[in-house]
Amino acid sequence: MRSVSFASILILSIVAACGNPEGKSPHSTSADSTQSEDWKGNTYASALHYPEEKHLQNIRQLTFGGDNAEAYFSFDGRALVFQANNPEWGTQCDQIYAFDWAGSDLKSGPPTRISTGKGRTTCSYFLPGDSLMVYASTHHVSENCPPTPAKREDGAYVWPIYDSFDLFVANRKGEQRRQLTQIPGYDAEATMSPIGDRMVFTSMRSGDLELYTCKLDGSDVRQVTRELGYDGGAFFSPDGEYLVFRASRPKTPEEVAEYKELLAQGLVKPTNMEIFVCKTDGSEMRQVTQLGQANWAPFFHPSGKKILFSSNHASPRGFPFHLYLINLDGTGLEQVTFDPQFDAFPMFSPDGTKLVFASNRENGGTRATNLFIADWVE
């Protein structure tokens, strides 16, 4: 999950610095065949599909401009809900949209907006039955987009944790149904169990950024994590028994002091996160990655035995971000995507045959981050 527009994540990267005999999909473009120049004037290879991406086939681009990310499948796999900031769609900051991915052409215009068009939104997800969606928004506090953090004197990249974020439910027409959270402070990053009985979300209600689960009407709230640090971006395992999430774990006195000082200002530093797994009640907690830098946007492989996630651990300058597969015990790390800028926010379709993700590929050297869908190949 993200707290700011994806363009900021790209800034973080810079500041922190198959179907035929050749093994490519029919829509592939060789990574060596097209050279593009990014918005910083750097020349890089651009492609819809890279030859090394053996797990991806028949990649299709779904959006064409702006910042598009966190696309998540409906329970029947036919629709996607996502957040976008696209001036051509009349947005000032992230809003929530949904569409049937197989039959829609977003080149011709925006899909159905699910959110109100006011405030800032993040982290949407379908509820069981696919007629309703949950998302986080600040619109009930102010119609305006909340301010982004000012550039820090120390140059550190930070995410704002807006205390005006609460969880809301809307239908496929964008009609607002109800507000799920009422407690003051950050409540966001909600996703559903495949079983359809509970959701998980991140909240500041304890004074720290922890994971909680609740029933779909917002009742029966149960705390999952309790260790100091940011716990977020959680998803359920296919059987609904486990959670995978990203977390920061400040350990030294200096790290703890910095984390608490930033949190008091409504900020977190997302440049050092690892992937964790636990049961939905918080038991059997274990750290999966120990790679360093930013490891985030995890999602369970359909087998429930592996995790797909985004990482810049192998990037000396802080970018690019690639997708990686890893076993639950931390072994078997495998690079999945190879775009020279950014690949993240992966999600498998409910039947495990497709993968949707966000990427900077094929953006013509602009800042655009688009959505892509591909057949998954084991």
Q: Is pLDDT above 80 for 46?
A: no
Q: Residue 122 and residue 137: Cα distance in Å, rounded? A: 7
Q: Is pLDDT above 50 for 37?
A: no
Residue 329: how many CB atoms within 10 A of its CB? 10
What are 285-306's pLDDT values in tens digits?
A: 999 999 999 999 999 999 999 9
What are 64-114's pLDDT values in tens digits?
A: 999 999 999 999 999 999 999 999 999 999 999 999 999 889 998 899 999
Q: Identify the pLDDT of residue 318.
A: 84
DSSP string, 151-186: PPTT----EE--TT-EEEEEETT--EEEE---SSS-
Q: Residue 356 and residue 60: Cα distance in Å, rounded? A: 9
Q: Residue 39 and residue 248: Cα distance in Å, rounded? A: 30
Q: Is pLDDT above 50 for 5?
A: no
Q: Is pLDDT above 60 for 279?
A: yes
Q: Identify the pLDDT of residue 27.
A: 33
CB-neighbour burial class of residue 205 (10 A; exposed 0-12, middle 13-18, buried 19+): middle
Whole-prediction pTM value?
0.90
User: What's the CATH number for 6-376?
Assistant: 2.120.10.30
What are 307-331's pLDDT values in tens digits?
A: 999 999 999 888 899 999 999 999 9
Mean pLDDT of the chain: 89
Q: Identify the pLDDT of residue 1.
A: 53
